[in-house]
Amino acid sequence: MTDKTMTEKTMPLWEVFIRSRTGLSHRHCGSLHAPDAEMALQAARDVYTRRGEGLSIWVVPSSAITASDPQDKDALFEPTASKIYRHPTFYEVPEEVGHM
């Protein structure tokens, strides 16, 4: 706050994704500021993997993410509610056939 030098420039924001030991895909776990990708990775390792949370980290510049607009939520995601035939429980299989 005392000097308004280069630090007043904002540090880029990164989104952090981690793949856990369980073999599931990378999952968003948070974000952080860092000057470049390399330091973002280092910081992500320090902050988001302190207790064996993962075996692989992705960092992505937040500005590179295109998100769906919440205003379109109904148009995008409502139609799926009526398509119950996409679920296995929609179909009847006689009990004698056993587990399917």
Partner 1 sequence: MYAQALNVAEKAHADDPELRARFQARVDAEEKIEPNDWMPEGYRRTLVRQISQHAHSEIVGMLPEGNWITRAPSLKRKAALLAKVQDEGGHGLYLYSAAETLGVSREELVGQLLTGKAKYSSIFNYPTPSWADMGMIGWLVDGAAIMNQIPLCRCSYGPYARAMIRICKEESFHQRQGYEIVMTLAKGSPAQKKMAQDSLNRWWWPALMMFGPSDKDSQHSDQNMAWKIKRFSNDDLRQKFIDATVPQGHFLGLTFPDPDLRFNEATGHWEHGPIDWSEFNRVVRGEGPCNRERLKARQKAHDEGAWVREAALAHAEKRAARKAAAKIAAE
Return d(Cα 64, Cα 56) in angstroms, integer: 20
Residue 30 binding partner 1, by CB under 8 A: yes
In the window 43-82, what residues touch partner 1 (CB under 8 A)?
47, 50-51, 62, 65-67, 69-70
Q: Write the DSSP string, the chain.
A: ----SGGGSPPPEEEEEEE-TT-PPPEEEEEEE-SSHHHHHHHHHHHH-TTS--SEEEEEEGGG-----GGGHHHHHSGGGG-GGGSGGGS---GGG---
The nearest distance, CB 76 to partner 1, in angstroms, is 14
Name the segment binding partner 1 (CB under 8 A); options: 19-27, 33-41, 74-82, 89-97. 33-41
Using CB under 8 A, pick the residue from 17, 18, 32, 57 that binds partner 1: 32
Q: Give the footprint of partner 1 on this chain (CB under 8 A).
A: 1-3, 5-11, 13, 15, 29-36, 39, 47, 50-51, 62, 65-67, 69-70
